[in-house]
């Protein structure tokens, strides 16, 4: 199982970026896929998630109404559309997947995740 995150970059405040998390040689069916981020000196936190089989999504309060998580029809790529970016969104962003999750929310602790992609840097300047 291999995840590949991409799409990071540098933008000015108010700008947008779209991150992608691609599954290699498997699909995200039966997985919850989450985006985490980690800023320098801070804990890695889950910010958005999707239960790919039924489309359940959830977000932390700080990104609600600005970020959207979704997946493609083949269930091999999960996207994070990030709009109205703020300097405090600057961090390394990671995608991660956990299999066969149940429950009302897909937001998980980092220690719950089964698979991780490498991080992609997002830098938002003021």
Tell me which DSSP letter residue 106 carries.
Answer: -
What pLDDT is attached to residue 4?
A: 96
Q: Contact 13/84 with Cβ under 8 angstroms?
A: no
* Tens of pLDDT, residue by residue, the chain (126 residues): 899 999 999 999 999 999 999 999 999 999 999 999 999 999 999 999 999 999 999 999 999 999 999 999 999 999 999 999 999 999 999 999 999 888 888 999 999 999 999 999 999 999
What pLDDT is attached to residue 45?
A: 96
Nearest to 51 by CA among 93, 97, 18: 97
> Long-range pairs for 49-57 at CB < 8 Å and ≥24 separation?
49/105, 49/106, 49/107, 49/108, 50/78, 50/106, 51/101, 51/106, 52/28, 52/78, 53/29, 56/105, 56/106, 57/106
Tokens encoding 61: 């309060």
């Amino acid at each position: 199982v291999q995840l590949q995150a991409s799409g990071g970059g540098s933008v000015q405040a108010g700008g947008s970026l779209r991150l992608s998390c691609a599954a290699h040689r498997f699909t995200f069916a039966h997985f919850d896929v989450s985006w985490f981020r980690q800023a320098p000196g801070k804990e890695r936190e889950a910010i958005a998630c999707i239960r790919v089989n039924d489309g359940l999504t959830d977000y932390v309060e700080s990104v609600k109404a600005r970020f959207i998580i979704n997946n493609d029809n083949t269930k091999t790529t999960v996207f994070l559309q990030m709009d109205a970016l703020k300097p405090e969104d600057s961090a390394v962003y990671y995608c991660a997947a956990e299999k066969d999750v149940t429950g009302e929310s897909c937001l998980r602790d980092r220690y719950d995740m089964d698979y991780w992609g490498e991080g992609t840097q997002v830098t938002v300047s003021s």
